[in-house]
Amino acid sequence: MELSSLTLRSAQEMLRSKQISSVELTQAMLDRIRKIDPQIQAYVTVTEDVALEQARRADERLATSENVTPLTGIPFGVKDCLSTKGVRTTCSSKILENYVPQYNATVIDKLADSGAVMLGKHNMDEFGMGSSCENSAYFPTRNPWDLTRVPGGSSGGSAAAAAAGLGLFSIGEDTGGSVRMPAGFCNVTGLKPTYGRVSRYGLIALASSFDSIGPMAREVYDVAAVTEAIAGLDKRDSTSSTLPVPQYTQSLGKSVKGMKLGIPKEYFVAGMEAGVESAIHKAIQQFEALGMEIHEVSLPHTKYGLPVYYLILFAEASANLARFDGTRFGLSVRDGAEDVIDVYLRTRAAGFGDEVKRRIMLGAYTLSAGYYDAYYLKAQKVRTLLRQDFEQAFEQVDALIAPTCPTTAFKIGEKTADPLEMYLSDIYVTATNPAGIPSLAVPCGFSQGMPVGMQLMGKHFNEETLFQIGHAYQQVTDWHKQLPPLG
């Protein structure tokens, strides 16, 4: 059996039955990264020594059967915006090219405690600013299904790695669709959890009130198992929820018969690619065959979702990125500088890419005197209306269904000249972040040879229901089992 095609669950079984060791599995993944990743470029940094040492320790745990978790010995990769002690963390930006944190993000500590094995750090759009993984300061990541196309963004490297078998799961981050959009483009399953469900401590922030760390893997079971491991209260994150974490994997076999699935009419309008629309409607029919009741619902403020998201994002990003000033950490351009202010200006000019500069300037404008009330404050008020739309819809249904993107993955370079057109790629995935609700991306078909993804949206802290519905769908379909044509 090709180890790169294993699911997390099948790898668990092989490790526990001693068919393979974690060192063997990890070495196989490292060998595949060396062979395949030059085509895809999913990784910014590969941590071979760290991985093999963690794998050896995992094998010791497996040998004694003490402190063994579902993730013990399982190799994974992580988006390069999560701090990793002693391992450079770049956010795919020149300004952090040689930055090595002195501490781990809480998610990284939790995965280490579970016995998981870190293979390395994934490429991304710089500071999470992009929908295609073309805005990395280092190189674009390519879609494993078609190397001329984008993998989606900003967690493009994480999705591409999961799809290509360059790790058995990935840790991504979703500020406005950055897990779900690339999961849909690359035919993997991915979760944007409820805001506060997973600690953000150690995440290099983009928009602090939107950012959500979530896993990607081949199937719902795998994503549920990883979510169990990384979710929960963290006193170092004041937005972390005190609610207990359910045992998500234990609810996966429950029937969905009699549950209510909502179709938001505002999401099914002109502009969707025909193949995407067809795949989503077939998925809805499949849910109906599983016994779910299908209801049309309305989210009347949907048309404001994209502008509200971007206005608040620009403002929060502008504030968060002010810390990168060339005086404390990261890049510092001092040659020829006349004073501290000149160092600050030269460093940011050299260290940030065009899209980051664009969003910082737009955010500063949004927050400036005379425009704060007209833009930022008004966006926050409409954000409340978006949240209320979802809350009212969930009084009628258990979950909502929509596409992750109106099209399949587009060609590299196709939208880079028009930022507005690129922003519109996010139209179906952005509203959930201002509302703070969970959303699960699940493969649901193909259009002209490229994957199509759907998203299931649920009530706050009700990931359990989304896993239940997504798992039921994957038991009667095999889209998630399709693998890209790689060597």
Nearest-angstrom CA–CA distance, 304 and 149: 29
Tens place of pLDDT for every residue, the chain, 487 residues? 689 999 999 999 999 999 999 999 999 999 999 999 999 999 999 999 999 999 999 999 999 999 999 999 999 999 999 999 999 999 999 999 999 999 999 999 999 999 999 999 999 999 999 999 999 999 999 999 999 999 999 999 999 999 999 999 999 999 999 999 999 999 999 999 999 999 999 999 999 999 999 999 999 999 999 999 999 999 999 999 999 999 999 989 999 999 999 999 999 987 899 999 999 999 999 999 999 999 999 999 999 999 999 999 999 999 999 999 998 889 999 998 889 999 999 999 999 999 999 999 999 999 999 899 999 999 999 999 999 999 999 999 999 999 999 999 999 999 998 888 898 899 999 999 999 999 999 999 999 999 999 999 999 999 999 999 999 999 999 999 999 999 6
* CB burial readout 215-240, b (16+ within 10 A) else e: bbbbbbbbbbbbbbbbbbebeebeeb
The closest alpha carbon to 210, from 440, 425, 430, belongs to 430
pLDDT at site 329: 87
pLDDT at site 161: 98
pLDDT at site 400: 98
Model pLDDT for residues 393-424, shown as the tens digit of each residue: 999 999 999 999 999 999 999 999 888 889 88
Model pLDDT for residues 128-144, shown as the tens digit of each residue: 999 999 999 999 999 99
154 is an active site residue? yes
Q: Which of 131, 178, 318, 425 is catalytic?
A: 178
Length of the chain: 487
3-class DSSP assignment, residue 397:
coil
The one-character DSSP state at 409 is P
Nearest-angstrom CA–CA distance, 17 and 40: 33
pLDDT at site 419: 87
pLDDT at site 1: 62
pLDDT at site 420: 84
Phi, psi of 401 (to 5 degrees): -125, 140
pLDDT at site 424: 85
Task: Give the pTM.
Answer: 0.97
pLDDT at site 487: 66
Torsion angle defined by CA atoms of residues 239, 243, 249 and 250, in that order, rounded to the nearest 10 degrees: 180
Phi, psi of 450 (to 5 degrees): -110, 145
Which residues, including other chains, have CB under 8 Å from residue 378's CB and lie 6 or more apart? none
Phi, psi of 378 (to 5 degrees): -65, -40
Q: Which of 4, 21, 22, 79 is catalytic?
A: 79
79 is an active site residue? yes
* CB burial readout 402-421, b (16+ within 10 A) else e: bbbbbbbbbebebbbeeeee
Amino acid (one-letter) located at 114:
S
- On the CB side of 142, CA atoms within 13 Å amount to 13
What number of helices (H) and strands (E) belong to the chain? 15, 11
DSSP 208-268: TTT-EEEEEESSHHHHHHHHHHHBS--TT-TT---SPPP-GGGGTTS--TT-EEEEEGGGS
pLDDT at site 447: 97
Q: Which of 21, 93, 154, 318 is catalytic?
A: 154
Nearest-angstrom CA–CA distance, 422 and 309: 14
pLDDT at site 409: 98
Which domains are present in the chain?
A: 3-259 (3.90.1300.10)
